[in-house]
Each structure stands twice: as structure tokens, then as C-alpha cells.
Amino acid sequence: MSSEHQPFDEMPKPIPTPEPVDLSKYSKRVILKTIVDRGDGGLGLIDQRVVVGGWVNTSREMRKDPPPKVDVESRDVKCVEVFHSKIPFLRTFMKAFGGNATHAKEKLESIVRQPPLSISFLKINDGSSVTSLQIIVDSSIAPASQLMPTGTCILAEGVLQKSSIQGKHAIELKVEKLLDIGMVDQDSYPLSKKKLPLASLRDHAHFRSRTTTVACVLKERNRLNQASHAFFQNHGFVHVDVPIITATNTEGFSENFEVSTSTFSAKESKIEEPVSADDTEIVSLETIKLLIDEKSKKVEELKRSDSNKEALAAAEQDLHKINLLAAELEARSKSKSEIEGQNIENLFFSNQAFLTTSGSLHLESFASALGNVYAFGPRFQADKSESTKYLAEKWMIETEMAFSELEDAIKCAEDFVKFVSNWVSENCHEELYFLSKRGDKTIIDRLNSMALAPFEKITYATAVEVLNKVTDKTFETKIQSGVALTEEHECYLVDEFYKKPVIIFDYPKELKSFNVRLNDDGKTVAAFDVIVPKVGALVRGSQKEERLNHLSKRIKELGLNKDQYEWYLDLCKQGTVKHSGFNVMFDVMVLFATGLIDVREAVPFPRHHGELRN
């Protein structure tokens, strides 16, 4: 029968052509996300030859069935050859009559010494997706002992095939060639243990991003970064860079990190020579005290352990020398002669310099020329706070808008929070699903609610009134007018009373920075905070004081050094304009979007009081 007359169901079906796979633009491998995150699970890529790379998450080994017992005669090894290979006398005898003892021995050893065969099933991830790809490696390619430890890095070439084991994975890679293996030492690799708590992972910050949880947090952080820039760029804001080193105490009331060119190094190494009096001029007393605490703990550890006496004696000697140095510094700090006698020419800067606590003052100068501007970067405070929302090095988004007042800044801040909440909800499906399964199950609903629900707006006075009427809860800090609201006060308002985001405005002037605009009542200022569920204060903003007399008066009231602010006062003298803005605590925003409770888990390398490891 000709093909024209064949029944339809008997017609030969064309062999499907495998869909092409996308290569990474900057490496000769396929990013795993393009395989495992496809709608068909990757089935459309079957029979494709690819190169993939990643780190082993989980592994298992399956032994192959042993080969059938070898018939010695079938392998051309005669019984007499077996005996003479082992018995010197027979070996000599056979050699005399032309037998090949060496050949027999090689045949025998090839039978006896064959290693056991196995297959390694490895799930690898390259960080591009929550889902891992299973790869199969035969022991003839590489021994399982090299591949199976968690954290092993593998670059492999092979063919994608339908999964040999039914489960959540549709396809797997049958490895034909290993291009690279980055082995790990299981005894020292910290992630070899299963389900380590997030707090313990902070001790290994350089590895913790390899865990799926931390990787999801960092990818959400990246999305929030994208969303933030998108919002401001879409609304005509100009991104500018503000100084990190400044001579101005920006906020007027927070503790600053002073910048110096000190050459003192607080390392674990021994102090070989006594420290001279001249050296104490460049050593921070605070640094010395931290080092004393560290060395004291080291001495106590050595005393409790079985360490040798020499190590203990050396540690005690170090501690003694540092204590002498601290005593000398304390004595010298009581006299102003140290400062007066400094040689200004030897200093890097001609005056005191600090790491900035905020770039808002400098941002105002850009707003005077460019209109609406924003900055994004690290800010530093030396306050010794134990709050789970505080870090010494924190990332902030700061904005300033010319020709705008308090209501304008509040509207912009509300729109911003709604925009980024919606952005993350739409662009982080996998990460949000993974984090909600393993932690806060309300993340997705909270983000959706934030994007849609209206915010409650109340004055500071109303907030105090509401909190004073609470009878079913006792606050650790008693609330009264003129006192700053604490985290527990703010969280009660949004989580229990209003049950939605709250904007609090018109604070007492004593609670806000010197440059916030004074209201007509002379007691409150045009400042506001955006308080959101789960994390509390997310945004703090204000209308700035553009009236020179009011600004000068506030500087004097707070006892600030007016010379530091002469450049800032010039903005009020030359072409002044009403302006307002707000600051977003970016790290806290990551907490809100991920369901975490400690900001140290939301930052790649956290810096806080008493802790700086990397």
C-alpha cells in the first residue's frame, strides 16, 4: 500500500526536533534556570547536549549490580598460571620451560582488583533558580567520593534525558564528561550539616549565600533594588551620589564613626614590641577596649582547654600589654593637650571627618538645582543598639523634592511602598513561595495587601492617645506625650489596632532633626513616619526648614557647631525654596518582603556593635 492510502493513525510520525537551548552570554554553559524553570519542566530539551555548572546540594550513590563471576578459564588464565603467579618455585619452573608468569599475574590482578561500580545522583544549583537539576555521573567518569560532598562545584557536559526516577524532576542530565571539579573538605565545610539555623550561618557569611534560603533573600533584595530605581526613574527623579565621608554631623544627635588614618591593627597576632606614647595618639580607646574583651575571652578559652602553657603565657602577656596601653590612653584623654598639640599638617584631612549618618543635607543642595533627586547607599551610625532592626552599616534610599511640602512627600512615600510591594509580588514568585513554606506564611498576602490597601494617617498626638487607652497590654516603655514611640508602640498600632499601614505625622520638635520645618504651633514639626506590619518604621520623612532664622535658632538650641553648617545655611540664603523628602530603611524593607525578623539575615555581610568578621 502506498503512503497516500495509509490510514491516518498508521502514517509515520515525524521525529520531533529538540528545541534549542539558550547559552549564557558570558560563559560556555547553560544557566540552570533556563532548563528547570520552563513550563514543561525541561521536557522540550530532551536529547540536547549541554554544559552545566553548579554546587552540589544533595547527593546519593547507587551501587551497580556486580558483574557475574569470572570463569578463570574463559579469561585465558589457567589454574596452573594462578598457582605459579603466587608460588615463586612454580614461577621459576614455568619460566624455565617457557611459561609467562608476569602475563598471568597481570590477568589475575585485573580480575581481583576491579573497583566496585556505582552511579552518583547529584542535585546541583547555580543560584539562578530555587529548583536544582539532577545529574547522573557514572563512577567510571569520576569516583563518588569526589563528587558527593555538599558544596562540591561541578562543571559537566552531557545529554538531557527524561528523569529515570519518577518525582518532581521531569528531566536529568546524564554526564558524559566532567570538565572541572571543585572539591570541599567535609570536616571544615560549614554547610555540610543539614538545616543550620540562620543565626549560626552568620558565622560563615562568605558561604551562607549557597543555602537556598539566603539565596532567595538576596535575590529578593536585588529585586527591591531594581524596583526602587525603577520607581524614581519613572517619576523623573535624578540619581546622585552623596559623600560617604563628611565633616558635618548630619542628624545632629546620633553617634558618628570618626575617620582616621590609624595604622593600628587589631589582629590576633602577638604585640612584639611595647607601644610607645606617640603610638597612642593614633589608637582609638574604643578599639583598645574591644581588643581587651577579645583577648580576655581568648585567655579564658585557653585556661579551660588543654592548650600548652606557652600559648597561655603568650596570650596573658598580650593582654597585659594591651591593658597598659588602655590605661595610658585613658590618662592622656583627660587632657586637651593631646588635641592641641597635634600637628595638623600630618593629618589626612585638615579637620575632623566622619562616616555619614545621612546624605540628606547634601541631597538638598542637588534638589536646589535638579528638582527631584534621590540617593542610594550605605549610611553609618555608631549607636550600640541591640534592636533586630538596627545595623552600624545600613543601606538607605534618600529623596529630596524641590517645590514640595509635607503632604507631597507623604503621597510620594506611600506610592513608593505600594509600587515596590507590587513589583516584588509579581517578580519573585519562586522566592516568595519558598520562603513562605519555610517561614512566614503571610508574606505573599501581606505584600498584596500593602499594594492595594489605603494607609491610615494620624498625628503623633492621636497615636499617643490611642496607646494610652490600651488596657489589655502592658508596654515596656510607658507612653506619654513628648516621648519617642518605640518598636512595640509602632507595631501595636499597625498589627493590632489599625491592622494596616499607618502614617504618623506632626511630631514634637524634640524628637526630630534640627532641619525639619517648624509648624505654626511652635511645638511640632512637619515630619512623618510610615509604619508597616511586621517590621514597624519603614520610611521617615519631613518637610525641611527653608527659613534661615528658624534654622539658625534650632542649631543654637541643640548646641551644634554652627561652623559645620555654614555651607548648608547658604542654601537658605541663596535662592531658597520649600522642599521635602524621605528616607527608606532599605534593609528593613528586605525584612518586610521576606518575612525575616532580624536585619542581620537581610544583609550579605552585616556590621553591628561588637561584630566584624569579614
DSSP string, 175-219: EEEEEEEE---TTT-GGGSSS--HHHHGGGTTTGGGSHHHHHHHH
Which tops the pLDDT comparison, 354 or 302? 354
Angle between helices 429-438 and 443-452 (to 10 degrees): 130
Lowest mean pLDDT among 9-13, 66-70, 311-315, 552-556: 9-13
When pLDDT is averaged across residues 3-20 and rounded to a whole number, the result is 49
Whether the pLDDT of residue 276 is over 50: the answer is: no
Which tops the pLDDT comparison, 194 or 26? 26
Cell readout for 98 is 617457557
Q: Assign residue 442 a region: left if phi > 0, alpha if psi is -120 to 50, beta otherwise? A: alpha
Q: What pLDDT does 6 receive? A: 42
Lowest mean pLDDT among 28-42, 325-339, 437-451: 325-339
Top-ranked range on mean pLDDT: pick from 481-485, 580-584, 595-599: 580-584
When pLDDT is averaged across residues 505-524 and rounded to a whole number, the result is 94
Cross-strand pairs, 530: 503, 539
The band of 254, judged by pLDDT with boundaries at 50, 70 and 90, is: low
Rounded distance between C-alpha atoms, residue 83 and residue 105, angstroms:
10
Whether the pLDDT of residue 21 is over 60: the answer is: yes
Rounded distance between C-alpha atoms, residue 482 and residue 461, angstroms:
9
Tell me which residue of 356, 369, 375, 394 sits closest to 581, measured CA to CA: 375
When pLDDT is averaged across residues 21-43 and rounded to a whole number, the result is 87
Average pLDDT, the chain: 82
Q: What pLDDT does 101 receive? A: 52
The β-bridge relationship of strands 393-402 and 245-246 is unpaired
Share of the chain above pLDDT 90, in %: 48
Tell me which residue of 456, 537, 527 sits closest to 489, measured CA to CA: 537
Q: What pLDDT does 274 receive? A: 41
Whether the pLDDT of residue 300 is over 80: the answer is: no
Contacts of 203 (CB under 8 A, 6+ apart): 190, 613
* pLDDT tens sequence across 336-386: 444 444 455 557 787 788 899 999 999 999 999 999 999 999 999 888 877
Whether the pLDDT of residue 106 is over 60: the answer is: no
Lowest mean pLDDT among 153-167, 282-296, 357-371, 458-472: 282-296
Q: What pLDDT does 320 receive? A: 73
Share of the chain above pLDDT 70, in %: 77
Rounded distance between C-alpha atoms, residue 166 and residue 168, angstroms:
7
* pLDDT tens sequence across 123-174: 999 999 999 999 999 999 999 999 999 999 999 999 999 987 776 678 999 9
The band of 109, judged by pLDDT with boundaries at 50, 70 and 90, is: low
| Ordered structural domains, the chain, with CATH | 19-67+114-182 (2.40.50.140), 213-255+352-601 (3.30.930.10), 262-336 (no CATH)
Lowest mean pLDDT among 158-167, 370-379, 483-492, 594-603: 158-167
pTM of the model: 0.76
Give the count of alpha carbons within 13 A of 212, CB side only. 22
Q: What pLDDT does 258 receive? A: 83
Q: What pLDDT does 395 receive? A: 95
CB distance 367 to 373 below 8 Å: yes
